[in-house]
Amino acid sequence: MLLGTDVTQVEAWRKLQEKLTAASVTDRSALLHRRANDTRSDVVRMIDHAGQGHIGGDFSVTDILTVLFNGVLRIDPNDPQKAGRDRFVLSKGHCAAALYATLASCGYFSPDELLTFMGPLSALNGHPNRNKVPGVETNTGPLGHGLPVAVGQALAAKLAGNGARVFAVMGDGEMQEGSNWEALMTGAHYGLDNLTAVVDRNRLQQGARTEDTSSLDPLDEKLLAFGWELRIIDGHDYEQLAAAFKPSSTGKPVAVIANTTKGKGVSFIEDRVEWHHKVPSTEQVVLALEELA
């Protein structure tokens, strides 16, 4: 493991957790929105510095990550390998920058590391590596890998009877990978009600809209037909996200279709296919940081 815990940052994260617990619904959403946009600002700076990255998908998944790591996942950034912890798998590994900024905000490692993103010998590779970055549970990058691993982790929690929950986030384009549908069958067959699969449904993939490439719809009917409890939400609404991440109510694994906007948070990046992995210019960086401030 190349990176270690940032104790000061963990303390800051803990204080935020206390605030969130005590806050009203409105205040909680405001706090999470601030946290999410700080993460987006980190991502802008990382991608600006590295000269590469996947800003569109980073921004669509940021609110999902923010809610998971602030009140949902039972984790301890001071003890990343703690037995019986909840697990998170970012199957859409190309959005590593958003994950790194989120993990750093929890204190898994120092936020000072973020600007090493994709630099020579950095722990922060373009796709996450569990042996280098604390908080990463499995190496991802090739699509369609995260959900089967999450199924295995959920099976392990069932066998151990430790009550651990497992969350995996897939891009919607990624649902074109057959391995996801194999894993969906296994999750339903074994009644993995401790498993939540989130689809970041921003409707864009690298080259075009999903529905113009290889149609996913009716995605809801497909997930239901595969035997999962389905929740369809606005993936940028913090209260809806928190509700969607509550445990299964049916004994089935939970699928969440989080309807999102690719590039969410910066007007000129939102919902534009070219921003899959476009890098903002110097002027655009300034504008983006202003919008996110």
Partner 1 sequence: MSTTTTTPGLYDNRTAFADELIQLARTDDRIVAVCNDSVGSSNLVAFRDEFPDRLINVGIAEQNMVGVGAGLASAGYIPFVCAAGPFLTGRSLEQVKADVAYSQHPVILCGMSPGMAYGELGPTHHSVEDFSWLRALPGLDIVVPADRLQTRQAVQQAVASPRPMYIRVGRHKVPDVSPAGSVLERGHFQTLREGTDVTLIGTGTLVSRAVEAAELLAADGLSVRVLNAAYIAPLDVASIVAAAEETGAIITAEEGNVAGGLGAAVASVVSQLGRDARVPVRILGLTEFAPTGSTDFLLDHFGLTPAHLAAAARDARTNG
Of 78 and 186, nearer to partner 1 (C-beta) is: 186
- Tokens standing for residue 80: 């990343």
Site for partner 1 in 71-130 (CB under 8 A): 83, 87, 129-130
- How many helices (H) and strands (E) in the chain? 10, 5
Largest CA distance in the chain: 53
Q: Tell me: does residue 160 bind partner 1 (CB under 8 A).
A: yes
Report the distance separating Cα 153 and Cα 137, nearest Å. 10
Phi/psi of residue 134, nearest 5 degrees: -65, 140
- Which of 64, 183, 197, 223 binds partner 1 (CB under 8 A)? It is 183
Of 79 and 274, nearer to partner 1 (C-beta) is: 79
- Which of 7, 156, 225, 243 binds partner 1 (CB under 8 A)? It is 156
- Which of 22, 121, 159, 293 binds partner 1 (CB under 8 A)? It is 159
Segment interacting with partner 1, rule: CB under 8 A, options 28-36, 106-114, 145-153, 283-291: 145-153
- Tokens standing for residue 92: 């859409």
Q: Tell me: does residue 239 bind partner 1 (CB under 8 A).
A: no
Site for partner 1 in 188-217 (CB under 8 A): 189-190
Report the distance separating Cα 57 and Cα 277, nearest Å. 8
Segment interacting with partner 1, rule: CB under 8 A, options 94-102, 133-141, 200-208, 254-262: 133-141
Residue 209 DSSP symbol: B
Report the distance separating Cα 208 and Cα 216, nearest Å. 13
Rg, the chain, Cα only: 18
Q: What is the DSSP string of 152-188?
A: HHHHHHHHHT----EEEEEESGGGGSHHHHHHHHHHH
CA angle 20, 194, 236 (to 5 degrees): 45
Site string for partner 1, 39-78 (x = CB under 8 A): ----------------------------------------
Helix (H) or strand (E) holding 205: none
Q: Tell me: does residue 176 bind partner 1 (CB under 8 A).
A: no
Of 150 and 244, nearer to partner 1 (C-beta) is: 150
Find out whether 55 and 278 touch, Cβ atoms under 8 Å. yes
- Which of 52, 179, 206, 213 binds partner 1 (CB under 8 A)? It is 179
Find out whether 260 and 235 touch, Cβ atoms under 8 Å. yes
Of 138 and 210, nearer to partner 1 (C-beta) is: 138
Of 5 and 91, nearer to partner 1 (C-beta) is: 91
Report the distance separating Cα 25 and Cα 239, nearest Å. 8
| Beta carbon of residue 237, minimum distance to partner 1 (angstroms, whole number) | 30
Q: Tell me: does residue 132 bind partner 1 (CB under 8 A).
A: no
Q: How many residues bind partner 1 (CB under 8 A)?
A: 35
Within a 10 A sphere around the Cβ of 135, how many other Cβ atoms?
A: 24
Binding site for partner 1 (CB under 8 A): 83, 87, 129-131, 137-142, 144-145, 147-157, 159-160, 164, 178-179, 182-183, 185-186, 189-190
